[in-house]
Structure 1
Amino acid sequence: TWTILFVPLSVALFLGGIGFSYFLVMPQSLHFLMAFGGENFTPLLSMESYLEFVLLMILPFGVIFNMPLLMTALSLAGLVQGKTLKKGRKFIILGSFILAAVITPTPDILTQSLLALSAIGLYEISLHFIGLLEKAKNRRL
């Protein structure tokens, strides 16, 4: 029964991540890039470089937004446990910021922080949901 829900939920989470990136993160990133050179430089964007930038910006958010679904699937399969994931929280926080610094195409801290903080928030939501699933599973046993 869970597998029927995973595909539509995955698409919805992916589109949610893309929407979050496009409407909240992209304007800030573009503003940073356009103001980066100061008044002495005129930015010349080609359509190809703009599309590449947009894709490099929104795809990581779409993928990161699928993390709760992946973690829940791993938990349902018995491959991870909630308390193990809670113990690794500090490594996830550090890893999120490192990954965000590598993935985002802009050097500004705001874009990197938005990706890292959304990944950490989704991780916490996943932990809460996995905890609820484990409680329900323990009640049935």
Structure 2
Amino acid sequence: METLFVNKATNKEELEKVFAIRKTVFVEEQNCPPELEWEHEEESVHFLALMDNQPCGACRWRKTENGYKLERFAVLQEFRGKRIGQALVAAALSDLPEDAHYIYLNAQLTAMPLYARFGFVAEGPQFEEAGIQHFKMVKKG
């Protein structure tokens, strides 16, 4: 039985694993410009997913002027389809302050069903970010 843990990444070693996962998924696999990928790191709360002690996924949340934004959900290709994305969303949501009234994210089209399971609803028009189609999604209830 595979063991999956999602922990807050707090030290340099854990953060380096988070950034390595994001680099693999966003910069190398999805061809996102690296300079778009590395922003707002300091004010963000980062999470690292480990499956059988192997780093396999990452995400973060941060407070913005609009509310709380969940971002940078990334799961390494060889670990996809193992509910890691769900575990990351659940961990990020449970870590938000109790008074987090407005929670949102920008979802790649393929990830929208995942976020919908957690009560996120698409709002507004489809848009492109780093060459990839997205919808803004807002958590309802």
Question: What is the TM-score when the length of structure 2 is the normalising length?
Answer: 0.29
Task: Indicate the structure (1 or 2) with the bigger Cα radius of gyration.
Answer: 1
Normalized per residue, the structure richer in helix is: 1
